[in-house]
């Protein structure tokens, strides 16, 4: 959710002025477009192909992935056009420009038929959905949504995540039910050093401290130099809260207080509160300060990016990095690299804190709303929806995400084992992230259930997905109940405008003081009360209240 707010900050400032200036004529034009879009259907029966007998052209604005060479000539583009009889006129937008281009298009009124992979926020959906610019998809789903309805039946959580407080669904998602992603905030420790020093895997914060101390003092890399870095993390875009799994905060505050996936918020029987003003938060800061003060936590953890962290992890000749927080080891080492270090780091199970707290940060919702929007510019919303709905079928998910059968991927053979240890259904021969013109990767909506993901075998041994699966199994017993996890929320434009300032101010201050308290630049004992008073002065209560209002609007009707 913090990620969502970061994405929509620039939009809110632009769109608020636009909304105030909307004229009566513009509203009438919106209605007229909407009426034009409800003409008689020209599609074939739901679930059949081609979608139309006579070719139809749709204009699609797409946030283009950098490793897709050319969407017009892409092999999947050509295959899907032949299958559906729908031709696409592409408006290609580089990912770094998507918010700017999206805001320009929305504010100008020059909409494409479909907006895809443009990170449309829930706030934008509510604003432009209420205006009639984004078409509500409920009736289209009911009439034509063969694959969408299957998805909703299989995963009711997805439908709930898509529905705005007014009950309308304004977008189709991608759904990536990634087991290890639901508990992605892990700590990884260099197993060869544990073995050499005859240390067991730490299970408590005290044991973790003692292991880091041994890494610093007992020369586990054996080069006779005090060059070991017991623990290091990284930041992204200069921040802590949005930096995610590579920061020291997410894993190492959980032995003291449950630290939500993105927002640093608690949900207890429907009531929302923040964690960063609680005594347990202070206790976690004190522990991290101890690590820092004794040289066990690298100072660079508060300033370096993941590329610099990877330089530590892949230090030439000898390893120097003892432990690092990350979603997977490829964040701080070279995945499948020649050094082989990526496979030598093992996941540390959630640590038990001094008062018995032991949590794994959990986010069970695999839904990413806003992946595909149909606008009122289209003359054929039924065609646009049928074109989009088919992406949720397993066949088209395979072809659009992975490529051609028996080339980029193939069916599993007897004796091949999937990630979960069961017989493999598929084998991936792809080189992810390499420039190619075969498939769209994750550009379009897709459905990857947990069973689908775990049924893959890899040509690589050891396999990173298997490592992550086994590591995550250690975390599962420490997750909270789903009812305690703050879900994705829709905010009104007024709420978003107010939140933009509050969140930037409050979380910026929390980030700043998180680092200052740990490094000793601010004295935790002497300045804690001032810190709390400052948060009150920043109107943290109103910040919580807005989240509560948005939660109540959807879940407490």
Average pLDDT, the chain: 90
Angle, alpha carbons 432-435-438 (nearest 5°): 85
Please tell me the distance from the alpha carbon of residue 317 to that of residue 110, in angstroms, as a whole number.
57
Cβ atoms of 466 and 343 within 8 Å: the answer is no
Residue 198 has pLDDT above 90, yes or no: yes
* Buried/exposed code over 521-539 (b: 16+ C-beta within 10 A; e: otherwise): ebebeeebeebeeebeebe
Tell me the CA distances in angstroms from 129 to 81, 103, 358, one per residue in order: 29, 15, 42
297 DSSP β-pair partners: 231
Angle, alpha carbons 24-26-27 (nearest 5°): 65
**Confidence band (pLDDT; 50, 70, 90) for 250?**
confident
Q: What DSSP string describes 447-486?
A: EE-HHHHHTEEESSSS-HHHHHHHHHHTTGGGPPPGGGSP
Reported as a single tens digit per residue, the pLDDT across 17-39 is 333 344 334 433 444 444 444 45
pLDDT number for residue 16: 36
Tell me the CA distances in angstroms from 467 to 180, 343, 419, 463, one per residue in order: 10, 8, 9, 6
Reported as a single tens digit per residue, the pLDDT across 202-249 is 999 999 999 999 999 999 999 999 999 999 999 864 444 444 567 899
What domains are defined for the chain? 2-176+369-400 (3.40.190.10), 185-360+492-557 (3.40.190.10)
Residue 6 has pLDDT above 90, yes or no: no
pLDDT number for residue 431: 64
pLDDT number for residue 532: 98
Question: Mean pLDDT throughout 190-195?
Answer: 98
Reported as a single tens digit per residue, the pLDDT across 455-482 is 998 767 788 889 999 999 999 999 998 8
């Amino acid at each position: 959710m913090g990620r969502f707010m970061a994405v929509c900050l620039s939009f809110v400032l632009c769109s608020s002025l636009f909304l105030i200036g909307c004229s009566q004529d513009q509203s009438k034009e919106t209605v007229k477009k909407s009426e034009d879009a409800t003409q008689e259907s020209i599609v074939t029966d739901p679930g059949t192909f081609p979608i139309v007998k006579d070719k139809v052209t749709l204009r699609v604005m797409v946030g283009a992935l950098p490793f897709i060479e050319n969407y017009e000539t892409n092999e999947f583009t050509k295959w899907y056009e032949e299958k559906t009889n729908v031709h696409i006129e592409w408006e290609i937008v580089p990912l770094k420009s998507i918010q700017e281009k999206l805001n320009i298009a929305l504010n100008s009124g020059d909409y494409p038929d479909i907006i895809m992979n443009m990170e449309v926020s829930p706030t934008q959906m509510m604003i432009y959905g209420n205006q009639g610019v984004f078409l509500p998809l409920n009736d289209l789903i009911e009439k034509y949504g063969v694959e969408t309805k299957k998805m909703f039946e299989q995963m009711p959580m997805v439908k709930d995540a898509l529905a705005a407080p007014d009950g309308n669904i304004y977008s189709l998602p991608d759904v990536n039910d990634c087991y290890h992603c639901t508990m992605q905030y892990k700590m990884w420790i260099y197993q060869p050093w544990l073995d050499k020093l005859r240390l067991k895997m730490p299970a408590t914060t005290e044991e973790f401290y003692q292991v880091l101390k041994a890494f610093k003092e007992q020369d586990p890399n054996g080069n006779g130099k005090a060059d070991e870095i017991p623990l290091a993390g990284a930041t992204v875009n200069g921040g802590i809260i949005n930096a995610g799994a590579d920061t020291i905060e997410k894993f190492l505050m959980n032995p003291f207080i449950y630290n939500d996936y993105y927002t640093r918020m608690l949900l207890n029987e429907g009531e929302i509160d923040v964690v960063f003003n609680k005594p347990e938060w202070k206790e976690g800061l004190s522990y991290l300060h101890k690590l820092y003060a004794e040289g066990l936590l690298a100072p660079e953890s508060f300033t370096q990016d993941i590329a610099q962290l990877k330089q530590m992890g892949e230090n030439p000749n000898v390893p120097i990095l003892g432990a690092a927080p990350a979603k997977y080891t490829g964040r701080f080492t070279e995945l499948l690299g020649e050094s082989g270090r990526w496979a030598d780091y093992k996941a540390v199970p959630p640590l038990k804190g001094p008062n018995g707290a032991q949590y794994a940060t959990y986010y069970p919702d695999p839904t990413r709303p806003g992946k595909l929007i149909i606008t009122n510019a289209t003359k054929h919303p039924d065609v646009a929806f049928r074109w989009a709905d088919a992406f949720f079928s397993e066949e088209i998910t395979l072809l659009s995400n992975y490529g051609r059968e028996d080339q980029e991927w193939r069916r599993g053979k007897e004796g091949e084992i999937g990630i979960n240890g069961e017989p493999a259904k598929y084998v991936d021969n792809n080189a992810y992230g390499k420039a190619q013109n075969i498939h769209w990767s994750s550009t379009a909506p897709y459905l990857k259930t947990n069973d689908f993901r775990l049924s893959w075998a890899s040509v690589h041994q050891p396999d990173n997905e298997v490592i992550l699966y086994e590591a995550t199994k250690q975390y599962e017993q420490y997750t909270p109940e789903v009812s305690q996890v703050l879900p994705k929320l829709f905010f009104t434009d007024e709420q978003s405008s107010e939140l933009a300032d509050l969140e930037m101010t409050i979380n910026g201050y929390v980030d700043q003081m998180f680092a200052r308290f740990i490094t000793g630049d601010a004295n935790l004992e002497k300045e804690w009360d001032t810190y709390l008073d400052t948060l009150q002065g920043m109107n943290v209560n109103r910040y919580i209240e807005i989240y509560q209002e948005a939660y109540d609007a959807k879940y407490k009707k």
